[in-house]
Amino acid sequence: MTERKPPVESAAPPRPGDPAPKFTELADPSAWAGAGDDTDHVGYLRRLGERVRAVRARRGMTRKILARDSGVSERYLAQLEGGHGNISIVRLRKVARAMNVPIADLVREGPEQPIELTLLLQFLDRLAPAEIGEAHRLLVRNFGGVAEHQRQARIALIGLRGAGKTTLGRRLAARFEVPFIEMGAEIERESGVSLTEIFSLYGQAAYRRYERRALERVLETCPRAIIATGGSLVSEPGTFELLLNNCYTIWIKATPEEHMARVVEQGDFRPMGGSPEAMDDLRGILAGRASLYAKADTVVETAGKSVDGSFDDLLNAVVPTPK
């Protein structure tokens, strides 16, 4: 049997009038999984889909919202998350491997990163998870730019809606006689419109920009404060890093059932969204963000506790207190 050779692609640029190249999109990746020298196409697309789904869950975005904000159809997103992405993704991966560079280097936005950063990332990639954590602490300690006593003068409460951040934060601010800052209100102040309008008119990407600007302003103008953050702030790496480096951070933690019950008790039925899968979605969001919330300096469990009991635990967790 004569072996079929792939066509040789010309390096010459296309000329005016040349027909556009055609790419065949296969619905079933298994049909081409054995092509070429990379036999892990199916596994790669499956992992890619899992990452997309995990990131979407951490950000609290439904597939419908992601489709609206990205301009990509829900049908394609479902295929992508199910491991049936476009074959061009695999072709790009082959190009990257042929040049012995990570695919992220080809799709990165902005200028090429310094070689020192590339070498640093390669070095960190060889470390164990515990060693990476220690390396991060050393970098923050030496290059974070904020003294520890300054960081501890601001206390930031993180966690899902309904955990008790606002209730406990107000009491803590009153006890220490420092300002209480709710980031939702600061984002509205920064944007000039309500949170609902930000999402409906401009999408989540705009919300993230306003959130970052609002946090930068708060950190610049408030050396002492208790800050209640939005539940999804942790899903934006740069903003979360800024918070961790500049605030003593506490995860106000509760069970998914208590998160939902407390929000509904406040008269807010939006979390249900008319969907019987709302509780499963909430569990998925919490599971996706748990490892991020765990980056906090300490954790206060509010599940099954009264407000007074939770506040006592919060006071014990605040060491040292703002001065």
Q: Quick one: pLDDT at residue 133?
A: 84
Q: Quick one: pLDDT at residue 95?
A: 66
Q: Quick one: pLDDT at residue 200?
A: 87
Distances (CA, A) of 59 to 33, 35, 53, 76, 281: 32, 36, 10, 19, 12
HEC string of the chain equals: CCCCCCCCCCCCCCCCCCCCCCCCCCCCHHHCCCCCCCCCHHHHHHHHHHHHHHHHHHCCCCHHHHHHHHCCCHHHHHHHHCCCCCHHHHHHHHHHHHCCCCHHHHHCCCCCCCHHHHHHHHHHHCCCHHHHHHHHHHHHHHHCCCCHHHHHCEEEEECCCCCCHHHHHHHHHHHHCCCEEEHHHHHHHHHCCCHHHHHHHHCHHHHHHHHHHHHHHHHHHCCCEEEECCCCHHHCHHHHHHHHHHCEEEEEECCHHHHHHHHHHCCCCCCCCCCCCHHHHHHHHHHHHHHHHCCCCEEEECCCCCHHHHHHHHHHHCCCCCC
Average pLDDT per run of 10 along the chain, which is 323 residues long?
A: 42 45 38 45 82 82 85 86 80 70 72 82 89 86 80 94 91 96 96 92 90 96 96 92 94 88 67 63 86 93 91 85 50
CB-CB neighbours of 79 under 10 Å:
17
Q: Quick one: pLDDT at residue 233?
A: 94
Q: Cα(307)–Cα(129) distance, rounded to whole angstroms?
A: 36
Q: Cα(241)–Cα(212) distance, rounded to whole angstroms?
A: 11
The domains located in the chain, with CATH, are 29-123 (1.10.260.40), 146-317 (3.40.50.300)
Q: Quick one: pLDDT at residue 298?
A: 94
Q: Quick one: pLDDT at residue 282?
A: 82
Q: Quick one: pLDDT at residue 20?
A: 43
Q: Cα(278)–Cα(266) distance, rounded to whole angstroms?
A: 17
Q: Quick one: pLDDT at residue 99?
A: 61
Q: Quick one: pLDDT at residue 159?
A: 94
Q: Quick one: pLDDT at residue 142?
A: 81
Q: Quick one: pLDDT at residue 190?
A: 94
Prediction pTM value: 0.70
